[in-house]
Amino acid sequence: MTRRTALQTAASAALATKASLGKTAGTAGRIKQSVARWCYSKISLDDLAKAGADFGLSGIDLISHDEWPTVRKYGLVPAMTPGAGTIPNGWNRKENHDALIKEMGDNIERAAAAKVPNVITFSGNRKGMADDIGKENCILGLSKVKKMAEDSGVTICLELLNSKVDHHDYMCDHTAWGVDVMKGVGSPRVKLLYDIYHMQIMEGDIIRTVRDNIQYIGHLHTGGVPGRHELDDTQELQWRTIAKAIADLKFEGFFAHEFIPTKDPLTSLKNAVELCTV
């Protein structure tokens, strides 16, 4: 499974009982921690959810509707699920809008029915388009779906990605550009997915940027820089300091681990959760 595959399926499911496993689900400090499913594709979802709940996770990111019951079984929330579009094809082109609006409507309806809080979406690649034009088009398109999000209590999260290493030509690759889109849309239910790994590559200054723009951020992702691996001393960010700064802002969204483990996967996840439990 790749991340792109994980994002292509839509969403729906039922509530279930909370697991009592050592350290109950959702007890990892002052921020709600989650984990991206695609990084642990070699582990069954049952095993990942059970272990995650035991570690104190609150949710699992980027799972399809048929996987929601498994996650719920262990007291976890499907924290981020497909919304509309793909990384290269998103809201920056008007010709995409009709299809994206329909896809977003279907997925928001499913998410709301199952009390899933967030759906992910993308700007799309530039493909020669000027950033200002793409920004206007994203504002136009997202403004057409904001009411359905507001009425449903589901937050649409536009992801910030790096265009330097992983997603060449992606348009929403700087916080300032994404914030301009958020201001243009003007909805409490349309926010940014601030991926710390990606934004460290593009611009750095993580804590100041998050503090200055927290009202526009609905979800966060982690990942060691460079390499997108474990949150350890092989990379350049001080994750405990970052987690504390986010907790001090009383951030109510999810803080999701999206790194590719190079060691024992569940040990790496447990270490990351403990590191960011503040």
Tell me how crowded residue 260 is: count the other CB atoms within 10 A of its CB.
17
Query: What is the pLDDT at residue 2?
Result: 57
Per-residue pLDDT tens digits for 64-99: 999 999 999 999 999 999 999 999 999 999 999 999
Structure tokens that stand for 258 in this block: 């999206």
Per-residue pLDDT tens digits for 156-191: 999 999 999 999 999 999 999 999 999 999 999 999
16 has a pLDDT exceeding 70? no
What residue ranges define each of the domains in the chain, with the CATH number in brackets? Answer: 3-275 (3.20.20.150)
Contact indicator for 197, 224 with CB cutoff of 8 Å: yes
Distance of alpha carbon 67 from alpha carbon 62, whole angstroms: 10
Per-residue pLDDT tens digits for 122-149: 999 999 999 999 999 999 999 999 999 9
Query: What is the pLDDT at residue 6?
Result: 54
20 has a pLDDT exceeding 50? no
pTM above 0.85, yes or no: yes
Place of tokens 């804590």: 207
Residue 77's DSSP bridge partners are 59
Contact indicator for 182, 190 with CB cutoff of 8 Å: yes
Query: What is the pLDDT at residue 25?
Result: 85
3-state secondary structure of 254: strand
Q: How confident is the model at residue 27 (pLDDT cuts 50, 70, 90)?
A: confident
24 has a pLDDT exceeding 80? no
- Mean pLDDT of all residues in the chain? 93
Query: What is the pLDDT at residue 4?
Result: 57
Q: How confident is the model at residue 7 (pLDDT cuts 50, 70, 90)?
A: low
Residue type, 134: G
